[in-house]
Amino acid sequence: MTDDEFDYWCKQQQLTAQTLLLIAAIRAAPPSRRVQGRAKNVSGVYPSRKMGQTIQFESHTVELWAIYQMEHDPQVLEFYDQPPPFKIQYQNQNGRKIGHYHTPDFFVLRTTGAAWEEWKTEIELKRLAQKYPSRYQKTETGHWHCPPGEAYAESYGLKYHVRTDTELNPIFTQNLMFLEDYFRFTANVPLSITEQILSSVQASPGTTIAATLATIPGVRANDIYAMIATEQLYVDLYAVPLVEHWRVQLWADEQTHTAHTHLAIGTTGDYRKITSPTTLLPNTLLVWDSQLWTLANLGETTTTLLPEVGQPMQLPTAFFLQLFDSSTINILTSEKQTTINEGVRELMDAASPADLQRANRRFHLVQFFNREGKRPNAPQTYPV
């Protein structure tokens, strides 16, 4: 956040002067310690674009996953690794009162407030809860909390959260595990290949990995994965597993993806119906091998097509989507709809990143107003 944005955020939170001084000190301070790898963990740093600096992680699994989640969560405004330590007190397994300084993993500023966060695996928390039952406890609802950490945070009107790997989306986690080596090691993708891929994606926003591999000679899947990991391409890692090339859509950046998603929501009313740059619905007319077909059902595993004459044909959905994304199968569109689509495409192509950001912000304002009947009172919604 800029200084003006931070001041605006502070006014929205209605925090005490003492708490604002504490937050300002955390924002200005470097990490209080350097992380170190252990036998079962691989430490490292993540180059955060949101923060404009590298963020340390002590675990290449849960902490790195948490960093990547915060990096792409619009509700997270800032996050700092290894914030200044503070003293906590609790009883150990033998009932003896102990106290020591504790360094949480992160201090996070969200649109809704600020909190210290400690990230661990569910297995590790169960082990620690047996050893330190007064420090780590699990509620009846299945959530973990840390009473001594919460007590310190509450003294400033802030929060302390214990987070676990079970909170992370399984597809998101699977994709991060898949990209792990690409995060840690620099892949030497030839500049000519990078430029060809970017040009293809910019020309056809939402094109798939399968279509890109099929249309650009010499491109390998590894090249695309490396560009995703280094954020030269944007992929919604929550959507589908990266190994399903025929379903993974590629975008030049997150703003473009968001704008196209909003456009599709405005057309279909439901983002879950977006399976490709064009929405596929029952009774859609398709052209395949110069023959006319009707899409009867697009199922999870099987897709059914009806010819003009003859028996229905069933195809594996993965194969059907691959044919569709490679333009072997196309949608039969009316002249009017084609004109509308071309007009929208021209507007989207001409939009600058600032235009897309402004459009996305206005989309969220309209959606909130339609739902709540008022303008949202949140720090990320500045005048438009």
Tell me: the pLDDT tens digits for 221-256? 999 999 998 889 999 998 889 998 888 899 998 888
Q: Residue 7: what pLDDT?
A: 92
The pLDDT of residue 270: 43
pLDDT (tens digit, 9 = 90+) per residue, 324-383?
877 788 887 654 444 445 555 566 666 676 776 676 666 656 655 555 666 665 444 433
In the chain, the amino acid numbered 148 is: P
Neighbouring C-beta atoms of residue 263, cutoff 10 Å: 16
Complete DSSP assignment for 280-311: --TT-EEEETTEEEEEEEE-SSEEEEEESSS-
Instruction: Give residue for tokens 């030839």.
Output: 190
Which residue is associated with the tokens 């948490």?
A: 66
H or E segment at 109? strand 106-110
Give pLDDT, residue 169: 84
- Please provide residue 177's backbone torsions phi and psi, each rounded to the nearest 5 degrees: -60, -40
Measure the CA–CA gap between 218 and 194, rounded to whole angstroms.
11
Which range among 31-45, 135-149, 150-164, 324-338 shows the weakest confidence by mean pLDDT? Answer: 324-338
The whole-angstrom separation of Cα 53 and Cα 40 is 26
R_g of the chain, CA atoms, integer Å:
25
Give residues with Cβ within 8 angstroms of 316, minimum separation 6.
301, 302, 303
pTM of model > 0.75? no
Mean pLDDT computed over every residue of the chain = 83
Delineate the domains of the chain, giving CATH numbers in brackets: 3-168 (3.40.1350.10), 174-271 (no CATH), 280-336 (2.30.30)
Q: What is the DSSP string of 57-101?
A: ES-TTHHHHHHHHHHT-TTEEEEEESPPPEEEEEE-TTS-EEEEE
C-alpha distance from residue 169 to each of 69, 174, 229 (Å): 10, 9, 18
pLDDT at 38 over 50: yes
Percent over 90 (pLDDT), the chain: 41
Pairing of strands 159-164, 113-120: parallel
Phi, psi of 214 (to 5 degrees): -80, -25
Q: Which two tokens stand for residue 316?
A: 């594996």
Average pLDDT over residues 190-213: 91
- Check residue 252 and report its DSSP letter: S
DSSP-derived pairing of the beta strands 285-288 and 291-298: antiparallel
